[in-house]
Amino acid sequence: MAKAAGAYTEDVLTWLDVLAMLALSAATAVGVRKGSLFLIALLPALALLAWLPPLSTPILRALIALAAGLFFGRLATLIPRRFSSRTETILGASGGFVWGALLALSLWTGLPSEYSVSTGTIRYPAPGVPLVVQEAVAKSPFALRLYDAVQRAPLLKRLLGTPEPPSPQPERTRASS
């Protein structure tokens, strides 16, 4: 049965999905180009981010990640590598894929969320996010599932710098005098 032109179907990717997949593929391509050096620099930087306590601002976290990546990248050039061309490509692609997957996950799951008192659930994304982004998340076959998965995985939450969903605030009552 044919669907009307412009009708929404569940198997259609949104612009958010395309952007996330572009980040994944571009990072994998960079990894292939850089070779094992990329993987050698990426793993300690990720370990450092997982070990660091959650920081107050995403910008500070991004700056630390950038500095760690540059430091470990420079350090990795000092390590002698004697891999075949094929092994270099595979190691670089693996590192690029991991990096790209984290970038894609952060695009899908990095928006603000909000606790809804009326339903007792977390709304993702929060209503303050622009409507076009809310629609992209709602129609995405990946975003909400991945958000739920990241919320259940403490290590991923730390790597991505995903904030804790807001919890309900207890009602304050006046003490009678």
Question: What residue spans define the domains of the chain?
Answer: 16-160
Q: What is the mean pLDDT of residues 55-71?
A: 77
Question: What residue type is assigned to position 160 of the chain?
Answer: L
Q: Which of 55-59, 113-117, 150-154, 167-171 has the lowest mean pLDDT?
A: 167-171
**How distant, in Å, are the alpha carbons of 22, 32, 46, 63 from that of 97?**
12, 9, 13, 21
- Tell me the whole-structure pTM to 2 decimals: 0.78
pLDDT band of 2, cuts 50, 70, 90: very low
Which tens digit of pLDDT belongs to each residue from 90-113?
999 999 999 999 889 989 998 888
Percent pLDDT > 90 in the chain is 35
Backbone angles phi, psi at 76, to 5 degrees: -65, -25
